[in-house]
Amino acid sequence: MTFDEIVSYLRADGWPIEPLREKTVRSSFRADTRAFTFFVHAEGAYLVLAVVPYLRLPVEEDTAQILMDRLLHLNNEMVFAKFSVDEDGDVILSVEYPMAHLDKTEIRDALDVLTYYANTHWPEISKMGGPPPEV
């Protein structure tokens, strides 16, 4: 699938789409306790879906370290998803799928994984992080 075909599928499936760049769009979903904004991006050979920011690292170094340790532990438990932290202190939840041989069922799987982990881990992780991002 091409990136344009992926975006067309998302639109047809009812996802709100806001084009940002040639290979990047923004969308969102409503979870149990809040709405999440995520980006869909074609990066080289991979389709990346990423909630940026999922939340922010706390400013206190000790508290930030506790959160990062927990994120590493969760990365070991999660399948097809990972937490990371960017240079701005934003915690990111992402899913990456290879674009080669990608089909609609794999796009649906990627969305399911992203929304599941975003919703599942928010109650615990939100208590450990900085202020929730503006949606």
- Find the CATH number of the domain harbouring 26: 3.30.1460.10
Note whether residue 121 is domain-resident. Answer: yes
Q: What is the pLDDT of residues 74-108, one digit of tens each?
A: 999 999 999 999 999 999 999 999 998 899 999 99
How far apart CA 35 and CA 26 sit, in angstroms, is 13
Instruction: Residue 95: give the domain boundaries.
Output: 3-126
How far apart CA 29 and CA 21 sit, in angstroms, is 20
Note whether residue 133 is domain-resident. Answer: no
Note whether residue 92 is domain-resident. Answer: yes
Q: Please state, in angstroms and as integers, the Cα–Cα distance from residue 110 to each residue in 60, 78, 92, 102, 103, following that order.
A: 33, 13, 15, 11, 11
Does the model's pTM come out above 0.85?
A: yes
Domain count, the chain: 1
Note whether residue 135 is domain-resident. Answer: no
Note whether residue 21 is domain-resident. Answer: yes
Q: Are 25 and 40 in contact (CB under 8 A)?
A: yes
